[in-house]
Structure 1
Amino acid sequence: MYRGWGLFIGGAWRAAEDGGAREVIDPATEEILGWIPVASRADLDAALASARQGLETWRRASPWERAAVLRKAADLIRAREQDIGRLMSQETGKPLVQACGETRDAADQFEWYAGETQRIYGQTIEARVPEVRMQIRWEPVGVVAAFSAWNFPALLPSRKIAAALAAGCSIIVKPASEAAGSAMAVVQALADAGCPAGVVNLVTGDSRFISEYLVRSPAVAKISLTGSTAVGRQLLHLAADGIKRVSMELGGHAPVLVFEDADVDHAAEQCARFKYRNAGQVCASPSRFYVHESIYPRFCEQFAAVANSLKVGPGLDPETHMGPLANRRGLENTQRLVADAVERGSRLIAGGGRPAHIAGGKGYYFAPTALADVPDQALIMREEPFGPVAPIAAFATFDEAIAKANSTGYGLASYLFSRSLKTATLASEAIRAGMVGVNELAIASAEMPFGGVGDSGMGREGGPLGIRDYLEAKFVKTRLF
């Protein structure tokens, strides 16, 4: 599957220096899809040297030159949508229509940042005396080391690559080993778009070894991670030693508040469909549902009906609504959380195990699952589920709803449904999160700033704020003689 690809260093694809490789598993069949390189110390040194050289070339390129490459890459990714989508579906198990949608979203990142690179505006400050000039200019921070997760294997690296390149930085990207091919396809599009050698580099292999080696390198000026909160803490410790810039998009456990005046049927259907997108493996996925007691029974009934209507199967099957989980550890974690919730008194109202119609025991399948009357003490109310399980509980008052929404350390996304402008405004202001969707669950796109607070990280990706993390401000004061 990965023939012709591998490590991308110095503008060329290559195998690992010592021949090391690891397998990639199809989550729908548990069969081997292919092999990717395991980068050695020598490979990482080569990538660092390449990125340093690429930085010197790229930082001198004009915004118009950078924009042209990014726009061409966007066009190529769109033109290759079906091929990239099929590859992604095989790697992750997600339905082909979702994989193709993600590919388009990845292209949008490059198109958006093609515009942003032309909008890096400095500032002139009026001096106190006429013979002095003062200005602020923005310069690229330097070489970026970027680490992305497997759940959106084209979009997540694209957010980082596009922003870094728009700012004039070079980058070494390390995609997740479970789904490296999607990132390789994005890098191939950049190469074909005329991106100079060394500006974009890609390495695969042992995540811990690669991340520690790159973060410790004095050549790297900035780290960007999309991953778990635990990994984020580790990289922050390493980054502190080198006083490096960081942006972290970490875990989430998004609350959904459905108030008594909401359109309950609409809210239930939208919540269920978004919850099971990508088998619930979305950091911003709605994952804790708190519903006003007056509409609680109706919400649970409608939510369960949608969950039970979704067809589970291989991602390449055009009738599939939800594919398998991406790996075995995700499946085992989902089983653990459901068992704990039921043991603590939760009611199973949809799913709960492997779909009956999936033949054989192969594939990391788990039915869309909904739990009602879930107590606050259940693990699923405190741990990020990252699977197709929806815990639902009732609340009685506004203050109780806000307290439940803010009961974890996470603060990435949050959602609420209400027809009342007052309720929606006060709730959106009281919820502790980087993003709030009001009667809306689609809150991620290239023009929107994406990121969280607390255990969900720092910094923003996308939107007018996304490029700032890749730029340094320089103040220049000139006295005229």
Structure 2
Amino acid sequence: MDFFIDGKWTPATTSRTIPVVNPATGETIDSVPAGNAVDADRAIASAALAFKQWRKVPMARRAKLQHAAAQRLRERVEEFARLLTLELGRPLAGAKIEIERAADLLDYFAEEGLRLRGEIPMINEENERVLVVKEPVGVVVAIAPFNYPITLLTFKLGAALMTGCTVVAKPASDTPLTTLLLAKLFHQVGYPPGVFNAITGSGGELGRALVEHPTPRKIGFTGSSPAGKRIAAMAAATNKRLTLEMGGQSPAIVCRDANLDVAIPALVRHAFANSGQFCYRVNRIYADREIYPMFIERFARAAAALKVGNGLDLGCDMGPIVSEEIFRTSVEHVADALSKGAQAAAGGARLLGGDYDRGYFFPPTVLVDTQQSMKIMREETFGPVVGVMPFASLPEAIEMANDSPFGLAGYVFSTDLSVALSTAESLEAGSVWVNNIHRSYNMVPFGGYKESGLGREKSRYGLEAYLELKTIYLSTAQ
């Protein structure tokens, strides 16, 4: 598969390619070009030329096109979901949900874009007016990770296109195929050539070329904190605008009065969805000492009941981990915890035998009696491994929850709503769920404190992140 630049499939200037491997079988399903600085320049030039006209397109027309893209995506959900399962490994049902939610987000941004407003301050000076207007920031480089490649791209794409920006997207090398197909879909529903371009390659070579290029005015990035910091440093040379959604190491606090019939299914679902490969998953759990034995017994039993297999198999709850590199972190975190006195109440070792030998399958793993110094409690695992430890008092639990350079999400379970709310307010996190774990809604902002990010995505705040403010002083006197 080639790049998609300027409304057409475009071959790379290099013969180097990157294989796309099905993580459930180890089979190569396709390959994509390994782009370089010359390819980056071609894609950016196309976006820059298209921006001159796209910024002038009426908002109603942009909204109509974005709704059309969302509808076409829904019509092709089976095709996109199957391709996503093949390149990512996630169970097919979850892949379908991702595509549907991406379409919903495109629709949301289309409607929210129509509600954008400028201002005319009431300065009350004769023959003078001041206009505060909002303009598209320009060409946007959108860098998305492998774990939710379409959803996390639409966080950026839907906002950028509605505000009048043009986009060069760089998907992760593990999951590039759905992004390339999405770029073609947008062109098919009527987007002008160059408005949405997709180009593939490594983060080191192609990513650097895109970020350091002088033309783009904004970088929208989702990925690890180290990568985000490198992007911020490179972007500083040309003072690019940034939205960075980076790593997480999200804590959950389970109080002694928590409703475990609600808490345990929610925590299991949110710890092991997508094989634990998402940034705001539950990575560590602090349970009140009084309920700790009962909690770990029920939580471990529920985790062990999840079915692991090929994402195309019916009834599969978890697929493989996407690559050996991501797989190694789970192995390392489990080994570190066990060597320091933790116990595996569920899982703990790679699944082997039969079809398991063909992919990187790791079971839902619950490590109990962990300590705050262990890697599972401090580093982002990005795999189906959770650390659990008891706490003696709520202030102690809050202190341990906040003892992290990350601050993306937090979770609190207590039937005392006063305690639950005050605990939520004490957590250093951009989003906190209380007494259940719902999806992250489109109309509210998403992002993190501390090293978990910069800026917010989704909602009107995420939309306005792709706009510049301009003040116009107008004298009406002749």
- So what's the TM-score if we normalise by structure 2? 0.98
Structure 1 CA distance for aligned equivalents of residues 426 and 407 of structure 2: 12
Partners of 1:273 and 1:306 within 8 A in 2: no
For residue 98 of structure 1, what is the amino acid of its counterpart? Answer: G
Aligned partner of 2:444 among 438, 442, 448 = 448
* Per-residue CA distance 1:278-316 (angstroms, 9 max, x = gap): 000010101110111111111111111111111100000
Matched, 1:231 2:222: no
Aligned partner of 1:182 among 178, 185, 209 = 178
User: C-alpha displacement at 1:199, in angstroms?
Assistant: 0.7
User: C-alpha displacement at 1:358, in angstroms?
Assistant: 4.6
Q: Given the superposition, is the C-alpha separation of residues 154 and 360 from structure 1 closer, same or farther in structure 2, using an over 3 Å criterion?
A: closer
Aligned to 1:461: 457
Matched, 1:430 2:426: yes
User: C-alpha displacement at 1:128, in angstroms?
Assistant: 3.6
Partners of 1:26 and 1:92 within 8 A in 2: yes
Structure 2 CA distance for aligned equivalents of residues 39 and 356 of structure 1: 36
Partners of 1:75 and 1:107 within 8 A in 2: yes
Structure 2 CA distance for aligned equivalents of residues 193 and 413 of structure 1: 36
2:460 partner SS: coil
For residue 290 of structure 1, what is the amino acid of its counterpart? Answer: Y
Matched, 1:28 2:61: no
Q: Given the superposition, is the C-alpha separation of residues 358 and 333 from structure 1 closer, same or farther in structure 2, using an over 3 Å criterion?
A: farther
Aligned to 2:89: 93
Structure 2 CA distance for aligned equivalents of residues 150 and 359 of structure 1: 23
Matched, 1:332 2:328: yes
Partners of 1:437 and 1:443 within 8 A in 2: no
Structure 2 CA distance for aligned equivalents of residues 469 and 211 of structure 1: 21
Matched, 1:347 2:343: yes
Aligned partner of 1:45 among 35, 38, 41 = 41
Structure 1 CA distance for aligned equivalents of residues 234 and 405 of structure 2: 22
Structure 2 CA distance for aligned equivalents of residues 427 and 360 of structure 1: 42
- Within 5 Å, give how 1:97-246 maps onto structure 2: 97-246=93-242
Structure 1 CA distance for aligned equivalents of residues 414 and 82 of structure 2: 39
Matched, 1:251 2:230: no
For residue 184 of structure 2, what is the amino acid of its counterpart? Answer: Q
User: C-alpha displacement at 1:441, in angstroms?
Assistant: 1.5
Deviates more, 1:175-184 or 1:128-137: 128-137
Aligned partner of 1:8 among 4, 11, 19 = 4
1:276 partner SS: helix
Q: Given the superposition, is the C-alpha separation of residues 73 and 360 from structure 1 closer, same or farther in structure 2, using an over 3 Å criterion?
A: closer
Partners of 2:150 and 2:179 within 8 A in 1: yes
Aligned partner of 2:266 among 270, 280, 305 = 270
Aligned to 1:382: 378
Partners of 1:264 and 1:298 within 8 A in 2: no
Structure 1 CA distance for aligned equivalents of residues 37 and 393 of structure 2: 57
Aligned to 2:364: 368
For residue 374 of structure 2, what is the amino acid of its counterpart? Answer: A
Gaps of 5+ in 1: none
Partners of 1:8 and 1:14 within 8 A in 2: yes
Partners of 1:47 and 1:201 within 8 A in 2: yes
Aligned partner of 1:317 among 307, 313, 317 = 313
For residue 384 of structure 1, what is the amino acid of its counterpart? Answer: E
Q: Given the superposition, is the C-alpha separation of residues 174 and 360 from structure 1 closer, same or farther in structure 2, using an over 3 Å criterion?
A: closer
For residue 28 of structure 1, what is the amino acid of its counterpart? Answer: A
2:142 partner SS: strand
1:156 partner SS: helix
Deviates more, 1:290-299 or 1:441-450: 441-450
Aligned to 2:74: 78
Structure 2 CA distance for aligned equivalents of residues 326 and 285 of structure 1: 16
Structure 2 CA distance for aligned equivalents of residues 355 and 192 of structure 1: 43
For residue 339 of structure 1, what is the amino acid of its counterpart? Answer: A
User: C-alpha displacement at 1:400, in angstroms?
Assistant: 0.5
2:120 partner SS: strand
Structure 2 CA distance for aligned equivalents of residues 241 and 219 of structure 1: 12
Structure 1 CA distance for aligned equivalents of residues 23 and 7 of structure 2: 31
- So what's the TM-score if we normalise by structure 1? 0.97
* Per-residue CA distance 1:32-80 (angstroms, 9 max, x = gap): 1111111133222211110111111110001001001100000011111
Aligned partner of 2:291 among 283, 286, 295 = 295
**How many residue pairs get matched?**
477
For residue 303 of structure 2, what is the amino acid of its counterpart? Answer: A
Structure 2 CA distance for aligned equivalents of residues 190 and 13 of structure 1: 13
Structure 2 CA distance for aligned equivalents of residues 85 and 260 of structure 1: 41
Partners of 2:247 and 2:451 within 8 A in 1: yes
Aligned to 2:303: 307
Structure 2 CA distance for aligned equivalents of residues 48 and 390 of structure 1: 42
Structure 2 CA distance for aligned equivalents of residues 192 and 45 of structure 1: 24
User: C-alpha displacement at 1:94, in angstroms?
Assistant: 0.4
For residue 211 of structure 1, what is the amino acid of its counterpart? Answer: G
